[in-house]
């Protein structure tokens, strides 16, 4: 069996539908795709879904890709950002931002302008989250967490050692914050950030938000608001590009600017 046939046959096994909250599970209005056919990871995850949707488009199931995006937009409207997944214990962090890219994929595949107009407010709401809750003093963006100090300390002392070795000389609360930030990055845990994820302005995160700003210009035009996108976002694009170019000489390792 070739890979394409295998994916086409197995994708239906990853479909879930839960409209009501159930214990830690957050109910969603549309059927959604999860990473696994059974066992673990039976939730709608954020950046995983971007790549899952690419497979759905490839097999001709743009409707399910659209449902996945509508569920993500629902969660953004509900919480002000897209959580790591639709579980209550994921509500303290997001994941790499892909909602605008996913919505644009749906629009390009379907030409559904009504969908785009419905999606746009949530898209802008998520962007506001990253530009207020996850912005550094230098104007670029970083990963972080909404966990309190005690939770961060406990995470570093009790959970992180089950995955990697830890430095007991570090401030446990701040170290835990950095590792929670690494969970938000989707790269948990690896040497990329050297244990200091919250201190970095990752190139991939800022590249995604650069694409958000570019797509916002185009979306405003698609929604009939000619010149509004240029007025609102062209300056932000140039600002991000200028900032990243200026600070690039501070690049540290593979994580991004630090």
Among 158, 182, 199, where does a domain finish? Answer: 199
Higher pLDDT, 138 or 46: 46
The range of the structural domain enclosing residue 62 comes to 1-96
Residue 123 lies inside a defined structural domain of this protein: no
Same domain, 12 and 81: yes
Instruction: Give the count of beta carbons closer than 10 Å to the beta carbon of residue 164.
Output: 12
3-state secondary structure of 146: coil
Residue 188 lies inside a defined structural domain of this protein: yes
- Rounded CA gap, 46 and 113, in Å? 23
Residue 110 lies inside a defined structural domain of this protein: no
Same domain, 6 and 86: yes
pLDDT-wise least confident of 8-17, 75-84, 95-104, 149-158: 8-17
Convert the pLDDT of each residue in 182-238 to its tens digit. 999 999 999 999 999 999 999 999 999 999 999 999 999 999 988 899 999 999 999
Convert the pLDDT of each residue in 38-79 to its tens digit. 878 999 999 999 999 999 999 999 999 999 999 999 999 999
Same domain, 162 and 83: no
Residue 154 lies inside a defined structural domain of this protein: yes
The number of domains in the chain is: 2
């Amino acid at each position: 069996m070739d890979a394409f046939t295998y994916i086409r046959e197995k994708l239906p096994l990853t479909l879930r539908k839960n409209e009501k909250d159930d214990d830690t599970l957050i109910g969603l209005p549309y059927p959604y795709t999860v990473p696994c056919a059974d066992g673990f990871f039976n939730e709608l995850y954020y950046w995983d879904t971007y790549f899952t949707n690419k497979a759905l488009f490839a097999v001709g199931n743009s409707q399910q890709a659209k449902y996945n995006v509508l569920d993500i937009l629902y969660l953004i409207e509900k919480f002000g950002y897209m959580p790591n997944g639709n579980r209550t214990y994921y509500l303290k962090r997001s994941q790499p931002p892909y909602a605008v890219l996913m919505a644009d994929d749906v629009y390009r595949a379907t030409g559904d302008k009504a969908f785009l107009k419905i999606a746009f407010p949530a898209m802008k709401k998520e962007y506001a989250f990253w530009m207020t809750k996850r912005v550094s003093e230098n104007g670029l963006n970083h990963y972080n967490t909404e966990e309190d100090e005690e939770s961060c300390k406990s995470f570093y002392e009790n959970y992180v050692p089950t995955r990697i070795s830890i430095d007991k000389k570090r401030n446990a609360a701040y170290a835990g914050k950095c590792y929670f930030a690494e969970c938000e990055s989707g790269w948990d845990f690896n040497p990329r950030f050297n244990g200091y994820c919250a201190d970095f302005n990752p190139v991939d995160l800022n590249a995604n938000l650069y694409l958000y700003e570019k797509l916002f210009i185009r979306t405003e035009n698609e929604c009939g608001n000619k010149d509004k996108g240029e007025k609102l976002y062209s300056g932000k694009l140039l600002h991000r590009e200028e900032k990243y170019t200026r600070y690039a000489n501070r690049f540290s390792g593979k994580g991004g600017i630090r």
